[in-house]
A and B are shown apart, each in its own frame.
Chain A
């Protein structure tokens, strides 16, 4: 029976520590993905570094790492301002580590430096892949091909209730100088962090369920740290926006940001106030169009009336002229009749002192028309005599 060597746990750990720390005495740049990230109350940051199999499956490597508070104070702002992201789960990172071994806590990596450029690169690659995929799927043209109604007054808004951006949006809309009124319904959702895309998509489904009550959907977020806006590069959120049945207006960014959500939306604006102004402007434009049209109506009406009046005047004048002619002709005819009566009337002669002998109503024009003893009438201008012929003298016979 061979004598067995027995050592204490402490001695074993001491030996392991010695082997590990002497074998891995240098510093190593390690590529990994972040798992759980915890910040200790004393300011130390504990991160699980992991590696997943290429197919996107399970974890194939995992180790605990720590950034001591003294380093973390400088590395945190450096990382966040450079990448525009918080140091959180799910990031690809490149870290400079030192391997340490503790008899109590086992092996861990002490992170002494971090290269944000790597994370940016990784993030940008993911972003570019999403953009390319969305482009191939034709997602950039879908929502923008929807027509915004002429007067979009029924607004579905996805935002967070307490957010300054949402309040700015509502205030700007309600305080518009023109007295337009809007109906705004808020669908609250978290607008930052990993859960934001799913939360927003969930609320979009709520809006879609009552889409007949809305003209457009707005996704609104006020200011905030740039790293909070990474969720607006999410592929799933992008396809949901692109295929949304209502026009989607996105106003989440800062002046220098342009997210995938902006690219697939119908309209993308910088700020909540700009989104409100965009809607008000649609109303103003429509109102101006109305004013313009009503002026045209009134002008054309006036000119039409003027031309009708001219026509009427002309007709009136024609009628008056026709009547004048008519009356003149009538009077002329009467003049003629009057002259004819006067010239044919025997009374004219009688009035000059002549008299007219009648027998049986006919003129006695010749001595041969009567015989002595005949009665006849002698017509004068003021009456007549009843006469009898005493004798006849024939003027032609001497």
Chain B
């Protein structure tokens, strides 16, 4: 009896202790939420004017060569402005945003925070960045050489400019010319449509060597869908929700399923094994003829293909067109200034320097997407030392930019909700778990519940 009751007592005490711990955690978790986004009160305008001195932190994503050139530009800025130090922080894309999120929670964002449109509104919806329009009006930042529609990609959902885009990436269709020729097919013509792409892939497939597929199974790639919808003239996002119709998505996935069932794509199992670095993609290894990929990745892919030593060459085309015109959209990168920055004049001067200094642009040489400053783009295209593939990459960008691509403003939660759910939803279709209609309806429910939440 006594043993039993003491054991019971002990259990009670343990339960009580655990409950107390839980309560403690809940309290501390609630208390943390309010300190984020100590935004300056609405009427206070930061125009970026002031003495350029002291130190400022600069953060970007990248590796190897891009780190070298970014460091070089920062060094040039330090040389031009005596008494200024630029402290640098860099990491791989994924790790970069992991760290940035944590820094954002405690008001410790770097004065120069590199951003992309896809993540931007996760931050602006929490008032973490300063609007840059006043700094442009005051003359602290000059954006006159950046085309209007490219500049607009740096705007938040509220219409303010938060990022001055310095580099524009786009997705392209990377095609293995050698394999196309060997299969006896023609290259896709200029202005080709999704229907053209589909019949091209299905006609080529029987003539390809064993183990080679005409296309990757990219029905789960968010960027490809975005370009499809853009070409169709559908709105991607509206009021923080999905802007296109369920029918449009069902139609898109039906097209992919037709190609998959005809054997013109890689299998779903192969797709789930494909590594994310461009060097390891199936196109880079010559086992897939064509796939969508970031335009600049053709250089890395060709290098891997060269290593195989079979003399195959790659080229890149704009993504398919549709009723509303070409389907390309731009993914721009640039710098934002957080509200917690204590050295705004220096940060503004740095953004201006990056966007307009000729020598800096020549050194950076479009290392993170094509340079957005039109004058610099011309200069780089005229450079006789420019490698052939890089030139092709920049020309394709120029072609896309001139076609005035639609500006996509990504709602907060885009990366966390849309991209994850989209890939998963199509995997469920391609692995035969659910019907297309079911997957589409689940996807819409899931994403509309998660998008736009600032929680």
User: Do A and B associate with each other?
Assistant: no
